[in-house]
Structure formats: C-alpha cells, structure tokens
Structure 1
C-alpha cells in the first residue's frame, strides 16, 4: 500500500458525489429541514442543522473505517494462515476490476454494480428497522448513532472501495483507506438547503458523471497495472 491508495480512495469519495446523493440525500434533507418549532429559544437553526449533519457523517465514516479494519485484518489473517503465494496481488487485481466496474456505473455506461449492492440487502433487512426507529433525528447523539447504522446501507461504491481495504492486507491500512473514502464523501453530504440542491443538480449532469466515472476507472487501470507488474 502506498499514499496513492489513500489519496485515490479520497478522490473516489469525492467523485462519487452523485451516488452519495442518491443513497443518502433523503436523510440529509430530513436532517436539514428541522422546523423552527423544534428549535429552543435562542438556538440557531442553521447551527443545529449543521451539528446533526456533521454528527451523522462522523458516525457513517466510523462504520466505513470499522468495516475497512475488519476486512483488512481478515485478509492479513488469511495470508498468515494459508501462506498463499501472490495472495495480495490477486486481491489487488480484484480491487482494480471492482474500480473499473464502479467507474462504468458512475458514468452510467453499465449498471452492473447494482447487482453487487443487492448482496448486502440480506444484512440490511435486519438493520433497517433499527435505522427507521431512530427517526426523526433531533439530537446529536441520535444523529451519530444513525450515521453508524446507515453506514452499513448496501452501497456498491462502498463495497468497491472495501476491496482496496482487503487488498491492503492490514487492519491499519484497511481502516485508513475507508476513512479517506469517507472523508471524500463529506463535502457533498455536509451541504444543506440551497447549497445541497445546487450540488445535487450539478453532480447529476451527464458530463460530470462521465468525468467522475472515467477518473474512478483510471484508478482501476492503475491498480491493475501495479498488480500485474508485481507478478
């Protein structure tokens, strides 16, 4: 693993803004639409909205980081247990392929990634009632917990980036890759009100989606190139 992997994961998070709005935009809108009746006397409405949204995103990134650590650690354990030759190289090739698939999805060229998202639906059906019971989210603590729960929402972009965590072969690098990815998704999802609608409209443009997809696909090509050179 190099610094490139962490920077690339961060950029993937940024370029996946259109996907993020589709997956979490509804909840972000709910967090940013607290009515004045729910605000205490002397409390700033915008400040409260920002606290809720920020807390939710912190919780979401915590879940990503935990998932990255678990998968990175599992890969390291398997390597030590079975002592497989070229183990991490094979995983890196898989990660590169997943990035290519993600790039095609983001650019609306091929929607195959949605089939991978369905794999997580089995587990989400048990977490969804917990997430639903947290609504409405009106406190910072509930927003943090909601973020940690919704962080496990089936998401092809997250699954794709998680393959990098597996290929990293360590708890630390796996966690750091997903942390960097989570930070990349923050700018889009921290926006509220008019800013949120403006960004949402911008990232949905065909040219922006195509550019985002091609950039993510280029990371996949680079990952494959590095892996094949290590064989």
Structure 2
C-alpha cells in the first residue's frame, strides 16, 4: 500500500489484519446476529436446509458485504473526525514538536495493542470502558433497525457496529490523527478496516468453527507479537535509531 502524508498505510492494514483475531472474540456475537440465515421461503431457489432455516453462499455473501460496508463507513467517518481535529490543532500550534509527540503516542498505542492481544497488559480496556458511554446511546438503535432482512438495514446495522467500544480501533485512531487532515484520517481508518475485513468476512461465512480457531492462545499470541513489533519498530524510528531504509514502510510516522 502507498503512504499518505508520511504515514505508511501498509502497517495500518497489517495491524487490522493481525489484530482482527481480537475481533473474533469481541465482535463474534454481532457477526452471528447479522449473519443469521433467513427463512427458507426467502430464497427462490433450492438451498441446503438446516432445521427451519436455509442458507446459500450468495445470500451469505450479500449479508457480509452489506454490514461490513456499513462498518467501514463508520471507521472512515471516525478517522475523518480525528484527522480533521488534529490537523486543526496542529495548524494552530504550528509546532513540529507536536507532530513528533503524536508519532510517539501513536506507536505507544500500537505497543499497548500488542500487549493487549498478548493478554500481557489490559490498559486499552480502560479506553473501551470510556467508549461505552457513547455505545449505550447508540446500541438501542440496533433493535429499531431489525429485522436484518435487506442490504439497507444490514448496512445501517454495520454502521452502528463501527462505533462499538474497541481498544484496537482507538489505538489506530491515534494514527489517523497523524495524517493531519480529514481525508487522510479517513484513509488511515479505511486501510485498517480493510485489514479486518478478511477475518470478519470469513467469520460471517464460516461461523463458530473459525472463531474457535482464532481464539487459540498460540494464534492470538503470534498476532500480538507482530503488532508489538510494529510499535517497537516505530518507536525506534521516532528515536532516530533507524536510518531511512526499506523498513520505513513498516513504521508509523508523523505527517510531514
């Protein structure tokens, strides 16, 4: 992936991809609710029947595509708000030191995320608790949207899901702030969301069995170590310990 205002989108995408093992546990219930098979009469063609319900891959794919599109739109909106706000503050302050401090903060958040995935330190859980204040106001809307029987309803449900309190999302929002603009922040969060998409789409299609595999300690630990590595590499770069090299594409840096 390309870079945006000094921010490599590749590491953001990879953080989403690796960190999505966390989504398997945290968001699995929402995925299950939105992926529930529709009654057999909803399908005009013969399909494999399980109990009173039936399921076919085209229908499953349309559900998954609709609610994930809504989720990604919310991520992009949050990124635009974070990037635009930080850009305004940066222009008012006009201090390079502010950018450098933000770079350190973003990479420290990645370190915190890696430790979170490793279950070594649960500091990001405090941020999630803070986000629950907003979620308590948003979550009742899910009940008003259902039943999830059309692409529009599924998109709306996914858009609300995007505001679920999540330490992983908050850690990447710190990076979105580094972009220095609303469009840059949206791009960062979209890259992150696309990284989470393969895992959550697979869970929506495969269900509980895949969730069980992803919650294995070894899988979560391996992903946590890689995310931790991204954060530590970024801190090394911010400290001036790493010269310009091919590894810069794997680091998150302040906007130029």
TM norm structure 1: 0.91
What do residues 129-156 of structure 1 show as CA deviations (whole Å, max 9, x unaligned)?
Answer: 1123223311100011111111011110
Query: Conserved in 1, the CA contact under 8 Å of 2:24 and 2:203?
Result: no
> How many Å separate the matches in 1 of 2:88 and 2:204?
46
| Match in the other structure for 2:225 | 214
**Quick check: 1:19 aligned with 2:26?**
no
CA drift at 1:193: 6.8
* Residue ranges of structure 1 left out of the alignment (5+ in a row): none
Seen in structure 2, the aligned counterparts of structure 1 residues 187 and 38 have a Cα distance that, compared at 3 Å, is farther
**Quick check: 1:5 aligned with 2:11?**
no
SS at match of 1:191: helix
Q: Work out which of the two has the higher radius of gyration on C-alpha atoms and give 1 or 2.
A: 2
> How many Å separate the matches in 2 of 1:57 and 1:187?
10
> How many Å separate the matches in 1 of 2:146 and 2:121?
34
Pairing 1:135-150 to 2, within 5 Å after superposition: 135-150=146-161
Seen in structure 2, the aligned counterparts of structure 1 residues 94 and 62 have a Cα distance that, compared at 3 Å, is same
Seen in structure 2, the aligned counterparts of structure 1 residues 142 and 104 have a Cα distance that, compared at 3 Å, is same
Query: Conserved in 2, the CA contact under 8 Å of 1:32 and 1:50?
Result: no
SS at match of 1:137: coil
TM norm structure 2: 0.83
Residue from 63, 75, 81 that aligns with 1:70: 81
> How many Å separate the matches in 1 of 2:185 and 2:45?
44
| Match in the other structure for 2:246 | none
More helix by share: 1
| Match in the other structure for 2:53 | none
SS at match of 2:67: helix
SS at match of 2:157: helix
Could you list the structure 1 runs, at least 4 aligned residues long, displaced by more than 4 angstroms after superposition: none
Pairing 1:20-35 to 2, within 5 Å after superposition: 20-35=23-38
> How many Å separate the matches in 2 of 1:228 and 1:127?
40
Seen in structure 2, the aligned counterparts of structure 1 residues 163 and 209 have a Cα distance that, compared at 3 Å, is same
Moved more, 58-67 or 132-141: 132-141
| Match in the other structure for 2:171 | 160
Seen in structure 2, the aligned counterparts of structure 1 residues 192 and 204 have a Cα distance that, compared at 3 Å, is closer
**May I ask how many residue pairs the two structures share in their alignment?**
231
Query: Conserved in 2, the CA contact under 8 Å of 1:188 and 1:196?
Result: no
SS at match of 2:27: helix
Query: Conserved in 2, the CA contact under 8 Å of 1:63 and 1:152?
Result: yes
Residue from 160, 165, 172 that aligns with 2:183: 172
CA drift at 1:85: 3.5
**Quick check: 1:202 aligned with 2:213?**
yes
* Residue ranges of structure 2 left out of the alignment (5+ in a row): 48-55, 241-252
Query: Conserved in 2, the CA contact under 8 Å of 1:88 and 1:168?
Result: no
| Match in the other structure for 2:117 | 106
